A and B are shown apart, each in its own frame.
Chain A
Amino acid sequence: MKIIENSKVKEKAYIEKLENGLTIVLIPKKGTHKKYIIWGTNYGSIDSEFIVPGEKEITKVPMGIAHFLEHKMFEQPDGTNSLDTLTALGVEANAYTTNDHTAYLFEATDNFYEAMTELMDYVQHPYFTDENVEKEKGIIGQEINMYEDSPEWRVYLNAMKAMYHNNPVKIDIAGTIESISKINKETLYKCYNTFYNPSNMVLVICGDFKSHDMLEEINKRLVETKSKGKIKRIYPKEPDDIVQEKIEQKLEVSQPLYVIGIKDKNNNCEKEIVKKHIAIEIILYLLMGKSSKLYKELYNQGIIYERPSLDYEFSKNYAHIMISGQATEPEIIYEKMKSEIENMKNNGIDKKDVVRIKKMIYGNYVKEYNDVGDIARMFLSDYFKGINSFDYLEEIEAINVEYLSQVLEDVFKEDKMVISIVKN
């Protein structure tokens, strides 16, 4: 096993790539009661066009199928449901689908190995019937309706629609009631067989255990499979420019919700992505963090009353910044933000502020190593982006004003900015 170590948070990760292509990441953490296991496949809502290894034709599947598949994986041939079995063991089990990956997980204080048997069994043995596929359409239909009523989700998705012409990241992860109506067991099997191959998957475990013993436990539970060839994923071509600068939706809310987006060029997880990510975070805090001039001004004018969340979201084929929150007049934030970015470009970045914000961000990274679940999820999602999570703690030191100025010029461009608003 390859060992990676971080002296700042004093943690180690053991990484093993098996012959069948499965990657295993083990992070032993002494003294915790909880163990957390998460098994993910590099397959999310954006993967709806692909060429199955060995085939020539392009396969097109309905939107929302990755999420539908996640729901159906729990079904067993003997009529039981693995979620019930895991719950009955007293473990906290769940699953989720994102744009670029799907993950199955549980957290346990007791019965970890029994539960691990169940988890590894159901992920390796799909069982779909016409009947159990039909039944799920009603449940997922209610999940879709629940998101229809969520102003946060609406304002987020609209921002995506304003930024992206073709990239499927702009479509609801769960699909639509119409798109899921076309899903049947054959397409589910096809997607499963393509994307749930070990070579497309990563298994992460964090908790109190010995890495070698755990590796053996995993091996015992693996079904023999061969590594398949590379899946060719087809994504529509996405222009660099935005679709529309402003997008608005009416919903019954007390005050407008907003997302300001800045579309970044698809950086395809370039080598410097961690450094770039940290730099963007620093710039966002300098612009709109609690100690910033702009925050103070907007707060004193009563336009904002909570700190906006500041995020850089990226995957292998999209990247964008999001500044989001609730405010009385989001348009003013948007305009002021633009001029503040210009000011920063013209007047330069203050070194003293950078030193302080770097200290804060360092602290924020350290805090991510408190909880076994947070650690495991972080390693999984970073892995699919080609990132070793520890790098964030190491790269931060090297970031200087020159580099920040360069990122500011490259990414914070006025013609790439959009604003999405949901209001009454």
Chain B
Amino acid sequence: MEYKKIELKKGINFHIIKTDRFKTNLLAIFLTTKLDRKTVTKNALIPSVLRRGSKNMMTQEQISKELEEMYGAGFDCGVDKTGDNQVLKFYIETINDNYLPQKNENMLKTSLDKLLEIVFNPLTENNSFIKEYVEQEKNNLKNIIEAKIDNKSRYALDRCIEEMYKYEPYGLYKFGNVEDLKEIDEKNLYEYYKELVSNCKIDIFLSGNIENNIVDEINENENIKLLKEREPIYEFSKLENKKTDKEKIIAESMEVTQGKLVIGLNINIEDEKQKYDALMYNMILGGSATSKMFQNIREKEHLAYVASSMYIRHKNNIFMNCGIEIDNYEKTVELAKKQLEDMKKGDFTEEEIENAKKGIIASIKGIEDEQDTILTYYFGQELTKNKVTLEEYKEIIEKITKDRILEIAKNIEVDTIYFLKN
């Protein structure tokens, strides 16, 4: 695998990941902008309006037919929250020319042109998006925002994050708010779209078995030529001071059979590099089947089927998750807190540390075997000032000691306990 980053214009990067491991080429465009209460819903709406039609492929039906003709080129788009950024994502996945029944088709160039066309050359009339498209997609987005309650475990996690980051950008839901929709129309959305594509950070990723002239091809693309250089506005991931005086306890009711418990933790550290130690800490706490949570909450006490934790690097928080009998709430919270105390006391062995390292290193080694994970990794690098190669990443993990994990354990505090019950 070979990675190269080329600056097409200031603020617009082309990332080439050359690999012959896949039957497919994966192409992605990420538009990154600051998460903001004022624009969060508009940003969420834009990808779905863009996929409705472009200047040269005016309807969804036409786009779908052309993609089907390209041996089922997979098109996907959506919106994500990465740290304090909102990222609009567009993907196209095509079969590598080597695996096509006919050899003369240049699928890569076609898909590059099509994706750039969808993102940067939308169908408009009178300096607005198409009214019909915008109205329909507003309605669809409303359904999507409201669908938040459907997956109860995910909902509990989202609610815990919202409570922890009340009045802060990270507390926003990535799909925005229903109440904003009535203010949005085809005109102001198009105005905002123009502003967004002129100021956002643009990353174009291409992974696959790629020929060398692809950079010339992208530079010759009309839609790229029309983009101006920019000083992109986005947030690097950083450490913030998120100390709390008192843990918050929130319980909410819904029709559920099983209670969903989420405990949000702050990690009060000074040095950005300690994030690797925090990753290790999380692995021991609840990151695997040998972790403290899995062993003690699930295997020993049989309180849960799911008992795990995850580390969100961009915000430096850990979230503990358990699905439990509602009556076992107090017992489980107490047991979860005991795991944190035990970690603080240094009650974890060198063997547990080694196991955690092996687990993390295996996942680093596996990155190159998954086409979309490679993109996600390099995109993550774009949003951090401490850039590391995959090799360096492994070495850093290898060197982590018990003392450094203890340093994390000592600086962990419970911020919010969220419980979804009936």
Contacts and interface: CB of A to CB of B under 8 A. Distances in A.
Interface of A: 8-10, 31-34, 81, 83-84, 86-93, 107-111, 135-136, 138-140, 142-143, 145-146, 148-151, 251-255, 257, 289-291, 296, 299-300, 302, 305, 326, 328, 356-357, 359-364, 366-367, 369-372
Given A87-B355, A290-B64, A371-B370, A302 B136 contact: yes
A60 to B, nearest CB: 27
Contact of A254 (B23, B74, B149, B304): B149
A363 B60 contact: no
Chain A to chain B: the 6 pairs with minimum beta-carbon distance, closest first: A90-B358, A360-B72, A138-B302, A363-B71, A363-B72, A305-B140
A289 B323 CA distance: 36
A33 B365 contact: yes
Interface string B135-147: 0100110011011
A29 B191 CA distance: 50
Contact of A366 (B20, B99, B369): B99
A300 B135 CA distance: 10
Interface stretch (B35-43, B254-262, B340-348): B254-262
B65 interface: yes
A398 B269 CA distance: 63
B306 interface: yes
B360 to A, nearest CB: 8
Given A8-B99, A9-B23, A88-B290, A142 B355 contact: no
Contact of A139 (B151, B258, B302, B355): B302
Contacts of A86: 289
A51 B173 CA distance: 55
Contact of B72 (A9, A255, A361): A361
Nearest to B323: A146
Interface string B7-42: 000000000000011111000000000000000000
A356 B258 contact: no
A105 B24 CA distance: 26
Given A111-B358, A139-B304, A33 B140 contact: no
* From B74, B94, B257, B363, residue with most partner A Cβ within 10 Å: B257
B140 A143 contact: no
Given A8-B99, A81-B289, 5 more contacts: A9-B99, A149-B152, A290-B64, A305-B144, A367-B23
B95 A148 contact: no
A291 B61 contact: yes
A151 to B, nearest CB: 6
B93 interface: yes
B362 A254 contact: no
Contacts of A251: 255
Contacts of B224: none
Interface in B52-90: 60-61, 64-65, 67-74
Contact of B358 (A32, A110, A290): A110
B339 interface: no
B361 interface: yes
19 contacts: A84-B289, A86-B289, A88-B355, A90-B359, A110-B362, A138-B302, A145-B258, A252-B149, A252-B255, A290-B60, A300-B136, A305-B140, A305-B144, A359-B71, A360-B71, A364-B72, A367-B93, A370-B23, A371-B370
Nearest to A109: B365
A145 B255 CA distance: 12
A330 to B, nearest CB: 13
A87 B70 CA distance: 41
Given A255-B146, A367-B95, A142 B68 contact: no
Contacts of B95: 363, 366-367
A360 B363 CA distance: 32
A254 B65 contact: no
A359 B72 contact: yes
